[in-house]
Chains A and B, each alone.
Chain A
Amino acid sequence: MTAPDDTLLLIEDLTVSYGAVEAVRGIDLTVRRGEIVTLLGANGAGKSSTLNAIVGLAPRKARRMEFSGSDLQGVPPETVVRRGLTLVPEGRRVFSSLTVDENLMLGGAKHATRGDPAAVKADMLERFPILAERLHQNAGSLSGGEQQMLAIARALMSSPDLLLLDEPSLGLAPQVVDQIFDLIGSLRERGLTILLVEQNVAQSLEIADRGYVLANGRIELQGSAEELRASPEIQDAYLGA
């Protein structure tokens, strides 16, 4: 397969194994610049393993794995991030004993950030006013929604080209989930490319351009968001039609 010019992430035949257990079994996936692509599937389908493998946090093997034309195989997570690809992990995983400010500072640590850290931070605080209010509070004292915003803001501090979001709506109240999806939409409007892993299929397909459906570590379905919304399998399994 030849990557079209606007392909930001290209993955061919990715396998993720934890010992004898194969979590992901030879998937192909592409993300083009400016898109929101969603990875859907039930618990244990291999969605998070795929994201972790892309950033180098999970053991992986692939025939081809490129970001912006550069090979990602064997590249450690810190180098992947410096190249402009970052992950907001499942469960937020903010540094709870550090303040909001310190979390942001680490996100924009000198080595990682590709923009001016002060300007990026000012932009984050303008975009997430609640974080400005809580700047000197420990991250562990924030609500779940606030922690999710912090986790996203912290990832954005490295001025990435591609943001991987792992279950950003997990465990949040419905109105907070709406805010998070609005935020994801607004990030795309600012030119950010997003690969979104979600169990909230309906809302994901509303904001995504394309999607993949994973089951047992394999891609079962793929297509545009409209095609997936219309597919009987998705209707039956996820949209309750």
Chain B
Amino acid sequence: MDIFLQQLLNALSLGGTYALLALGLAVVFSIIGLINFAHGELMTVTGYAICFALIWGLPFPLAVIAGLSVAMVAAFLMERVAFRPVRGASGTTLLLTSFAVSAILRVLFQNLISARPIPVSIPASLSGVLTVGPLHLGMIQLISIIVTLVMLLGLNLFLHRTMAGRAMRAAAEDFAVLRLMGLRANSVVATAFVISGLLAGVAGLLWVAQRGSVDPLMGALPVLKAFIAAIIGGLGSLSGAVAGGFLLGFIEVILQAYLPESLLPYRDAFAILVVIAVLLFRPQGLLARKTLVKL
């Protein structure tokens, strides 16, 4: 039971990061139908921003604020420069554009910064281990869980209590009709990108804090996992993305803990098998959006 609880905490920590990333993908996809594979590069940008802010002598909290701000600005610019000109184009065009943005940014990171990982000095106070009874929880893991919950709660409040949030929920359902409410399409899309940038930034911060380094390809694997999580949850469904993220984290952690050692190298393959099983039963994802109309 203790081992299970321990793994549950690990799953919450890993799944939380996936959930934040998947949510960032879903926020944008739900509005303009774009799967932004350059979302991972927003994580990387955050990592570099925090890294350089620390090198330039900024205290850690300020470096974090700088990192998140850079992520939001980068997401805003990404939309303005790369995605706005192709808005309304086919899904394939949007997808290829996002791959192009991702590839260009990676090459820029490699050529202008470094192809190798750069260490990020995370404060020593964050590297401790908290022991509660039989459970051991790394400080960074604990912070990951708390930050994820705060972000999810904050986003929930934003979406339900502010006009911009309501507009985003409405845009996710029917963007054309939202424009008939007099709300500017460009503002709603830009807000969605800035929020996805913030979510990628927070995920990037947690990822860097756990790894202690940043490299040009840092965002590639997490964004792929987030994509899988968003698919499990039902692409375009915000609550689905969160559920998918936590479920994928849970599947990975449980497989890591309980697979025989000889099969551990195939952990991801088993995780994908579970995902395929989920999709066989619910091809539209766990929490796909649906409209209930009574006549």
| Chain A residues engaging chain B, CB cutoff 8 angstroms | 55, 57, 76-78, 81-82, 86-87, 89, 93, 95-98, 102, 105-107, 109-113, 138, 140-144, 147, 154-155, 158, 171-173
Contacts and interface: CB of A to CB of B under 8 A. Distances in A.
Contact of B166 (A87, A102, A158): A102
Given A97-B169, A111-B184, A78 B179 contact: yes
11 contacts: A57-B180, A77-B180, A78-B180, A97-B169, A105-B163, A106-B183, A107-B181, A111-B183, A112-B181, A158-B182, A171-B295
Given A76-B179, A155-B180, 19 more contacts: A77-B179, A78-B180, A78-B184, A78-B185, A86-B180, A87-B180, A89-B177, A95-B169, A95-B174, A95-B178, A96-B173, A97-B169, A109-B182, A110-B163, A111-B182, A143-B294, A143-B295, A147-B293, A158-B181
A78 B185 CA distance: 8
B291 interface: yes
A97 B294 contact: no
A229 B48 CA distance: 73
A45 to B, nearest CB: 21
A144 B182 contact: no
Contacts of A158: 181-182
A147 B167 CA distance: 19
A109 B295 contact: no
B81 interface: no
A81 B293 contact: no
Contacts, number: 90
B170 interface: yes
A207 B291 CA distance: 32
Range for the number of chain B residues in contact with chain A? 20 to 34
Contact of B289 (A97, A109, A113): A97
A93 B177 contact: yes
Interface in B146-190: 163, 166-167, 169-170, 173-174, 176-185
Nearest to A106: B181
A93 B174 contact: yes
A173 B183 CA distance: 33
Contacts of B291: 96, 140
B292 interface: yes
Contact of A55 (B180, B183, B293, B295): B180
Q: Which residue of A86, A89, A95, A172 has the most chain B CB atoms within 10 A of its CB atom?
A: A95
Interface string B278-295: 000000000001011111
A112 B173 contact: no
Contacts of A147: 293
B295 to A, nearest CB: 4
A46 B293 CA distance: 26
B294 A109 contact: no
B166 to A, nearest CB: 5
Contacts of B180: 55, 57, 77-78, 81, 86-87, 89, 155
Nearest to B160: A102
Contacts of A55: 180
Given A105-B166, A109-B167, A171-B295, A78 B182 contact: yes
Nearest to A155: B180
Given A96-B173, A98-B166, A109 B179 contact: no
Q: Which residue of B173, B177, B182, B184 has the most chain A CB atoms within 10 A of its CB atom?
A: B182
A143 B179 CA distance: 24
Nearest to B289: A97
Q: Which residue of A57, A77, A98, A110 has the most chain B CB atoms within 10 A of its CB atom?
A: A77
Contacts of B166: 98, 102, 105-106
A89 B294 CA distance: 18
Nearest to A144: B295
A172 B178 CA distance: 24
Contacts of A138: 292
A140 B179 contact: no
- 10 cross-chain pairs, A with B, having the tightest CB-CB distances, nearest first: A112-B182, A77-B179, A81-B182, A144-B295, A140-B292, A95-B170, A96-B291, A106-B181, A93-B177, A78-B179
Contacts of B167: 106, 109
B180 to A, nearest CB: 6
B6 to A, nearest CB: 37
Nearest to B182: A112
A78 to B, nearest CB: 5
